[in-house]
Amino acid sequence: MLRWITIIVLAIGVTGTAIWGYKEHQEKNAILIQAENTYQRAFHELTYNMDLMHDKIGTAIAMNSKERLSPQLAEIWRLTSDSLSNVGQLPLTLLPFNKTEEFLSKIGDFTYRTAIRDLKKDPLTDKELDTLKNLYTQAGNIKDELRQVQHTALENNLRWMDVQLALATEDTQADNTIIDGFKTVEKKVEGFAEGNIDSAISGTSSENHKYENVEGPKIDENEALNYSKDIFNIKATKDLRVTTTGDGADIPLYSVSYSDGKKNAYLDLTQQGGHPITLLVDRPVGEKQISLNEGYKIAEKYIQEHNFESMELLNSSQYENVGIYSFIYNQNGVRVFADAIEVKVALDNGDILGLTANNYFLNHHKREIPKPGLSTEQAKDFVNPNVAIQEDYLAVITNDLGEEVLTYEFLGILGDDTYRIFINAMDGTEEKVERLNGKEINYAGI
């Protein structure tokens, strides 16, 4: 009898394990299918958008009506934005594709700038028309290459999941038809960049930001581990994992991670100077014991200890007992929005839970800030008269064309909403209008 009971129990156990394994297998397959479908959709949309962009550029060249040309250029700009979004959804993080992305960005910048101006008063110049013709040729070449990749992929039933695996494992033996196709696209675009991308485009692109102000003596791996131990608030470094960035990285980093089931932590630290770029500590946060203002003082002390000088609080908010503080650089009384840092503080015990300083290190430098061409009162005349202005500042912001401009920043109220309005300090152009969450603005400080 005992023997039969044992056999039945074992049979039930084996059956249960088989069912569990089958369900697990099904769930994994479902995830893989979903990822594959996402990749396929993004790739075919990219190919379609490039095809359509090529046609739209050709149509713009043939147009004579200024009224129709502006919408056509705006449509090309929209297609470049969609194409960049498609590229971002493909598993190409390990494949250099930055030249193609830069090329699409430059097309977008050029067409946007041209579309928003009054083409009746300021029509296309011969140089700009030549630029459009060059773009037409170049977009056609990229379109043809993508179509070739698409044809081969469909004919041979190639999967993007295999591309991701080949890139991750650097498997040169795998079928790299898709990878080779994208490398060809990148190589052709690099040829455009070196040879015949007209200066009319280059002049409209954003600044080439680099990590220019990362200074200080180089730190070794042990110093990175000890810093991480302290900021992660753990006792020893033995449980930490550290990796270094490879050749060709924008900046040499130590990436340190930690996990014990209750706390997960990650840190990017520059090898030059030991500056924290990104910090994330994920742990349960207990009941609030310190105020949002006390958390601000902790955040301010932390950035001062890391030599982030002349930073001022832009806004603060609280989410699930975590204080979130945004700081921007102040150069001689002018607020510089590009040089931004965000710090997260646990309001149960004051631990630093997060830091994002990438924008600061990419953008920060001493700027030659001109004197404003308008007074504060003159600039106010360009603000909607229904807005009740509460505060005003001089500020440098990045406009829609990627250019840094000097503005007057006005904080004001309209109805139940608070707005941040930026008026160009030279000519009164309304550069940006932002609606703010009421919890984020602090008129009297915190």
Q: Which residue has the higher pLDDT, 410 or 262?
A: 410
Look up the CATH number of domain 376-436: 3.10.450
Q: Which residue has the higher pLDDT, 263 or 395?
A: 395
Convert the pLDDT of each residue in 152-182 to its tens digit: 777 767 666 665 555 555 554 444 666 666 6
Separation of CA 207 from chain center: 15
Answer yes or no: are the C-beta atoms of 262 and 283 closer than 8 Å. yes
Burial letters 282-308, b for 16+ CB under 10 A, else e: ebebeebebebeebbebbbebbeeeeb
Look at residue 426 in the predicted model and tell me its pLDDT: 94
**pLDDT band, very low/low/confident/very high, at 336 (cuts 50, 70, 90):** very high
Convert the pLDDT of each residue in 340-360 to its tens digit: 999 999 999 999 988 888 888
Convert the pLDDT of each residue in 407-430 to its tens digit: 999 999 888 888 899 999 999 988
Convert the pLDDT of each residue in 61-97 to its tens digit: 777 666 678 888 888 888 888 888 777 777 655 455 6
Q: Which residue has the higher pLDDT, 192 or 235?
A: 235
What is the domain partition of the chain in residue ranges?
A: 2-202, 221-363, 376-436
CA distances from 274 to 70, 209, 225, 317, 363 (A): 49, 20, 11, 28, 18
Answer yes or no: are the C-beta atoms of 354 and 319 closer than 8 Å. no
Please state, in angstroms and rounded to a whole number, the distance separating the CA atoms of residues 343 and 368: 28
Q: Is residue 291's pLDDT more than 90?
A: yes
Look at residue 361 in the predicted model and tell me its pLDDT: 85
Torsion of CA 72, 74, 75, 81, to 10 degrees: 150
Convert the pLDDT of each residue in 243-252 to its tens digit: 887 555 567 8
Q: Which residue has the higher pLDDT, 2 or 293?
A: 293
Look at residue 293 in the predicted model and tell me its pLDDT: 93
Look at residue 271 in the predicted model and tell me its pLDDT: 86
Q: Is residue 196's pLDDT more than 50?
A: no
Classify strands 388-398 and 334-346 as parallel, antiparallel or unpaired. Answer: parallel
Q: Which residue has the higher pLDDT, 233 or 180?
A: 233
Convert the pLDDT of each residue in 13-28 to its tens digit: 555 555 555 454 455 5
Answer yes or no: are the C-beta atoms of 132 and 77 closer than 8 Å. no
Look at residue 65 in the predicted model and tell me its pLDDT: 62
Q: Is residue 294's pLDDT more than 80?
A: yes
Is the torsion defined by CA of 141, 145, 151, 154 positive or negative?
A: negative
Question: What's the chain's average pLDDT?
Answer: 77
Answer yes or no: are the C-beta atoms of 179 and 187 closer than 8 Å. no
Cβ-based neighbour number of residue 165 at 10 Å: 13
Q: What is the pTM of this model?
A: 0.57
pLDDT more than 70, % of the chain:
72
Cβ-based neighbour number of residue 178 at 10 Å: 26
Look at residue 238 in the predicted model and tell me its pLDDT: 78
Look at residue 213 in the predicted model and tell me its pLDDT: 67
- Most confident option among 95-109, 253-267, 411-425: 411-425
Look at residue 347 in the predicted model and tell me its pLDDT: 94
Look at residue 318 in the predicted model and tell me its pLDDT: 87
**pLDDT band, very low/low/confident/very high, at 30 (cuts 50, 70, 90):** low
